[in-house]
Structure 1
Amino acid sequence: MPLPRKRPRQQRSKETYDAILEAAAQLFERDGYARATTNRIAERAGVSIGSLYQYFPDKDALLYALGERHMLGLTSRLLVTLSELRSTNPPLPQTVSAVVRAVADAHTAEPGLQRLLYDRAPRPRESAARLREVQQWIAAEVEHHLHRLAVGGPNRGLTALLLVQSIEAQLHGALLDPPEGCTAAQVVETVESLCLRALARP
């Protein structure tokens, strides 16, 4: 499976790497995977095709790197949100809403690229393991708030993990392809409602 050839270490190399990735994201979003050739990506990034191939052997490697960037962005958004929740300790509805909307924000940016990542991005074993690590980290934070709010049943660790996984799956699919007549805002509100009902005390 084609992966990025190497990671940049020097600042100038990092700037080149980031410029290529951003150019790929823009062209994939605007023109689709088939029309966004490596030559056009290199031209948009302002680098030679040789410089592009120094880091990325083909478009699949670019998709892989964009998937990693997406996961890093999601993690950063959630880190900010979860830190705020730790400091403010809001009631259950606001806590659920903050988590759901942080995940939703990551999926509503660059929708064309998101669809491409969902449909075509390579998913090697390392990426799957990293995703599980991120989910477990988020679940640990969610479990903290379940304890704080005295909801989630006797096995709050399991409840937190299932909540995190279900929120990600529901938002990813429904925000890419909302049911006819539904807006993204309605999708997010419905996911929040489902989480609150699942956490309702008996």
Structure 2
Amino acid sequence: MGRRPDTAPRHEGTGSRGQGSHDNVVVELPARPRKQPKQARSVALVEALKTAGREILEGEGREALSIYRLSDYSGVAISSIYEYFPTIESLIGAIFEDYRADARLQVIASIDALPASATLYDGIEIILRTGLSALHRWLQIDSEQSIKTAYYGELVRLEIVKPERFWISMVIPALVQRFSNQVLVGDREKAGFLAYQAVTALPRALLIEKPHYLIEDGTVRMLARMIHALLTTQDPE
């Protein structure tokens, strides 16, 4: 990011950066569930609430998702909802965690499903295309949560906060393992670090600064060429 934001380890609030603005922003850690379910019945209840919240978000929009609408839609008492999700923002945060987990599984499965004739470049394109499309979709679902999540991702990347789940850290190893013989760079450790930073930081920069780039023709291709060159350029003798 061009400017390091002030950080505050809080769980509530509405401070977020507007798209294309350059004001300082207070970055707040995403709201979390009050507690994690342990018994099967509680796990099922939490999953049902996340499913209901997700369906309301995607079908009716962010403004429609209130504690009362969620209770009516899911059939779960408000008191039971509060037991796990003290705020609607904490529920949305959990839904976005699931979005990222789903994207991770999708891209790993797509890499594994590539034919034997596929190349490293094909794998890189799949990662980028899946990631950028997901970021754009999430932005349409809840722009405020998407921006907050992007800033949180930067805090994770810079190791300022510890993530609960960080999907790209599992995707890059899957890519390198699938196309190990095509990774020709001599210093794999350094190249892997640089590729990881590019695949994580650049898409978030697009989301925050230039969201229209996420779906523009050529964005995936330009990023893929850069990362492919990084991994396949042999060091001079």
TM-score, with normalisation over the residues of structure 2?
Answer: 0.64
- Cα distance between partner residues in 1 of 2:220 and 2:212: 11
- Looking at structure 1, the residues matched to 137 and 98 of structure 2 have their Cα atoms a distance apart, in angstroms, of 13
**Range moving further from structure 2, 70-79 or 8-17:** 8-17
By how many angstroms is 1:53 displaced?
0.9
Indicate yes or no: 2:41 matched with 1:41.
Answer: no
Distance in 2, Cα, partners of 1:191 & 1:26: 33
| CA–CA distance in structure 2, aligned partners of residues 200 and 58 of structure 1 | 47
Residue 31 (structure 1) aligns with: 61
Which residue is 1:129 aligned to? 163
**Partners of 1:23 and 1:44 within 8 A in 2:** yes
Matches of 1:12 and 1:127 in 2, distance apart? 31
Structure 2 alignment gaps of length 5 or more: 1-10, 12-30
Structure 1: segments with no counterpart, 5+ residues: none
Report if aligned partners of 2:119, 2:179 keep a CA contact under 8 Å in 1. no
Distance in structure 2 (CA, Å) of the matches to 1:175 and 1:199: 25
Contact 1:175 1:187 in 2 (8 A): no
Change (3 A) 1:127 1:42: farther
SS in 2 for 1:88: coil
User: Offset of 1:57 from its aligned partner?
Assistant: 0.9
Q: CA deviation at 1:69?
A: 1.0
The alignment's C-alpha RMSD in Å is: 3.5
Q: Deviations over 1:41-69 (max 9, x none)?
A: 22222322112112111123213312321
Of 182, 191, 201 in structure 2, the residue corresponding to residue 159 of structure 1 is 191
Tell me if the contact between 1:140 and 1:157 (Cα under 8 Å) persists in the aligned partners. Answer: no
State the partner residue of 2:221.
189
Letter in 1 for 2:52: A
Give 1:47's aligned amino acid: V
Q: 1:74 aligns with which of 103, 106, 125?
A: 103
Displacement after TM superposition at 1:173 (Å) = 4.2
Mapped to 2, the partners of 1:127 and 1:108 lie a distance apart of 25
- The answer on 1:97 being equivalent to 2:125 is yes
Separation of aligned partners in 2, 1:116 and 1:45 = 24
Q: Percent identity?
A: 17
Counterpart for residue 175 of structure 2: 142
Secondary structure, aligned partner of 1:75: helix
TM-score, normalised relative to structure 1: 0.73
How many pairs align? 196
**Higher deviation after alignment, 97-106 or 71-80:** 97-106
Bigger Cα displacement from structure 2, 161-170 vs 5-14: 5-14
Of 44-53 and 94-103, deviating more is: 94-103
Aligned to 1:22: 51
